[in-house]
Amino acid sequence: MPRLTGRTPLRFSTQTLLLQLGVVALVVLLTSAVHGWLTYDRLGREAENQALTLARTVASDPEVRAEVQQISAQPGTPPAAELLAGPLMAAAEGARTRTGALFVVITDETGLRLAHPDPERLGERVSTDPTEALAGREVTTRNTGTLGPSAGAKVPVFAPGSDAVVGEVSVGYSTESISQSLSRDIVPIALIAAGALLVGVLASFLLRSRLQRLTLGLEPEEISTLVHDQVAVLQGVDDGVIGVAADGRISVFNSAAQRLLGQPDLTGTPWAEAPVPAQLPALTRADAAEGDAVELVADGRVLVASARKALHGREDLGWVVMLRDRTELQQLTRQLDAVGTMSTALRAQRHEFANQLHTIAGFMSIGQHQQARDYLARLAATGPLKFPVDQAELLQDPYLQAFLGAKGVEADERGVTLRLGPETLVRGQVTEPQEVTTVLGNLIDNAVNAAVAGSAPERWVEVEVLDEPGTGTAGGTLLIVVGDSGDGLPAAEAGGGGGAEAVFAEGFTTSERPARAGAGQGLGLALVRQLARRRGGDVKVLDAGSAGGPGAVFMATLPGTTAPPGETKASETKANERDNERDNDV
């Protein structure tokens, strides 16, 4: 089978260069041709005007007029020898010699030559039509006669003292002289055309070089493919992508980045002035370590950001900043922590319950039936299971009871007593348990850590939770106050003025352990404050505490997170009915 071979198509930049060169050459050639033609036409008109002026001069000479009238009045034409020696021949040749004309011809009223540069042509009829001139009109012509091509003029000769036409004067200048003049003028034209062509070639090469630099040497088909791929990738991923060009402006800001940062499309905005968290521009500084990931809180979300330098060969294209949402992962982590806390609490209670059963079995085995009954009565009065949280009955919401009970078990294992404050009273039920436990759990964990690290001999954390009923259809507000026995906030943050606000900055931590990327360390207070403020509430420091205890006191306000018990049960019943209906339909 014969092998098919094909020619490699020219690159787009090469095609563009050749096209530009062709256009420049065509424009230069056409311009030069038009200029040459206009120059030739101008020289021809000048020759016609010069011939017309000379013909008028000869035709108006009194001697010429009288001599032509005298010859025209004779019955015949004088012999050629007589004409050659006559005054008309002398006048015509004198004018021709002085002006460099190709010919100066004088005729009678019938068109017979009375003066001509070629003596052999005397007495013959002119080769071009003299009708217009013999009719009394001046004309300019371009034609070919016996002496060759010429540009000339014909002027009537009038009899002296009257308007009777007795002959005509025909003057012509050779077009070869016009061509010689044009050849002298064409040299600068050619030089100018060559210079224009050279400039066009250089400009085409420069344009080609710039085109290759701007397109990174890619062909239009490749650029089109890249654009389609870029749109598909940028709009199809859940990660935020921010492209920062080498000139410091945002070139890419995909929809995921807009959603994660809560900002509109910032494409074209200077990166240093963009309304984004300060950690992001810091990632692209010259002294920043490439690839390092930082955690930040933006629009109520926990994000992990990293930056990479974009290079094409040796050309610096800027930076690419990646944003990954860790909010759901953080929530899952907290849920797993809560589950672990609950399982630890249940494991401890299982041991306590087993010990109680062993005690009852012991009473029964030794026959102490009355003591067994008394022991069971005490268990029935206090409950077989007990979380180490006093006054848990002040919380009507079972979710809060279970959560604080589990936190109490966890704190007890670390040697910290978790107690409810005397002002605690929750009559409604929590409608937003995830956000409530996020805020409450973070404040309790921070307080337990502070109590463990504190210098006070008695370690405790006190929590007060109150609910305020809402108005109309609005949900109730949950007020949370958490204090501890720790040494309070560091002096730099506890100072006057708004110094305590520093604890809500992203990355703030009092832990002596180095932060791990992705661990969420230093983001808790910033996150819970954003969650609270997004609901119209807030988290703030009521008391910075002091060394030796008591420690800091935080207060959180969470509007719209509780509802009266009846409404909650009714909503749960309706939800169960809807679930049952769906199950029956299935």
* Residue scoring higher pLDDT (454 or 150): 454
Average pLDDT, integer, range 209-231? 71
pLDDT of the residue at 340: 65
* Lowest mean pLDDT, pick from 8-12, 122-126, 402-406, 407-411: 8-12
* Residue scoring higher pLDDT (573 or 46): 46
Neighbours of 246 (CB within 10 A): 12
User: Could you report the per-residue pLDDT of 113-130, keeping only the tens digit for each?
Assistant: 888 888 888 888 888 888
- For residue 303, pLDDT over 90 is answered with no
pLDDT of the residue at 364: 82
How far is CA 475 from each of CA 32, 520, 560, 573, rounded to the nearest angstrom? 87, 30, 4, 19
pLDDT of the residue at 123: 83
User: Could you report the per-residue pLDDT of 245-279, keeping only the tens digit for each?
Assistant: 888 888 888 888 888 888 888 888 888 888 888 88
Partner residues linked to 108 by β-bridges: 167
Report how far apart the first and last C-alpha atoms of the chain are (Å, whole number).
64
- For residue 480, pLDDT over 90 is answered with yes
pLDDT of the residue at 515: 43
What phi-psi label fits residue 297: left (phi over 0), alpha (psi between -120 and 50 degrees) or beta? Answer: beta
* pLDDT tier, 498 (very low <50, low <70, confident <90, very high otherwise): very low
Buried-state track 165-198, b at ≥16 Cβ within 10 A, e below 16: bbbbbbbbbbbebbeebbeebbeebeeebeebbe
- For residue 231, pLDDT over 80 is answered with no
* pLDDT tier, 511 (very low <50, low <70, confident <90, very high otherwise): low
Q: At what angle do helices 398-413 and 433-453 cross, to 10 degrees?
A: 20
* Residue scoring higher pLDDT (293 or 346): 293
- For residue 196, pLDDT over 70 is answered with yes
Partner residues linked to 483 by β-bridges: 462, 553
- The residue written with tokens 């009194």 in the block is 62
Average pLDDT, integer, range 505-522? 52
User: Could you report the per-residue pLDDT of 28-40, keeping only the tens digit for each?
Assistant: 788 878 877 887 7
* Residue scoring higher pLDDT (422 or 312): 422
- For residue 481, pLDDT over 70 is answered with yes
User: Could you report the per-residue pLDDT of 128-148, keeping only the tens digit for each?
Assistant: 888 888 888 888 888 777 777
pLDDT of the residue at 463: 92
Q: Rounded mean pLDDT of the chain?
A: 77
Contacting residues for 39 by C-beta, under 8 A, at least 6 apart: 182, 185, 186, 189
- For residue 234, pLDDT over 70 is answered with no
User: Could you report the per-residue pLDDT of 153-188, keeping only the tens digit for each?
Assistant: 899 989 888 888 889 999 988 776 666 666 666 777
pTM: 0.46
pLDDT of the residue at 291: 64
How far apart, in whole angstroms, are the C-alpha atoms of residue 101 and residue 174?
7
pLDDT of the residue at 462: 92
Kindly state the tokens that stand for 308.
């990479």
pLDDT of the residue at 178: 63
How far apart, in whole angstroms, are the C-alpha atoms of residue 281 and residue 371?
73
- For residue 582, pLDDT over 60 is answered with no
User: Could you report the per-residue pLDDT of 382-396, keeping only the tens digit for each?
Assistant: 544 455 666 666 777
What phi-psi label fits residue 313: left (phi over 0), alpha (psi between -120 and 50 degrees) or beta? Answer: left
* pLDDT tier, 583 (very low <50, low <70, confident <90, very high otherwise): very low
pLDDT of the residue at 509: 63
pLDDT of the residue at 323: 85
For residue 521, give the nearest of 297, 216, 191 by alpha carbon: 297
Q: At what angle do helices 433-453 and 327-365 cross, to 10 degrees?
A: 70
Q: What is the largest CA-CA distance in the chain?
A: 185
Average pLDDT, integer, range 353-363? 77
pLDDT of the residue at 1: 44
Average pLDDT, integer, range 442-468? 89
pLDDT of the residue at 339: 65
Q: What angle do CA 57, 58, 62 make, to 5 degrees?
A: 95
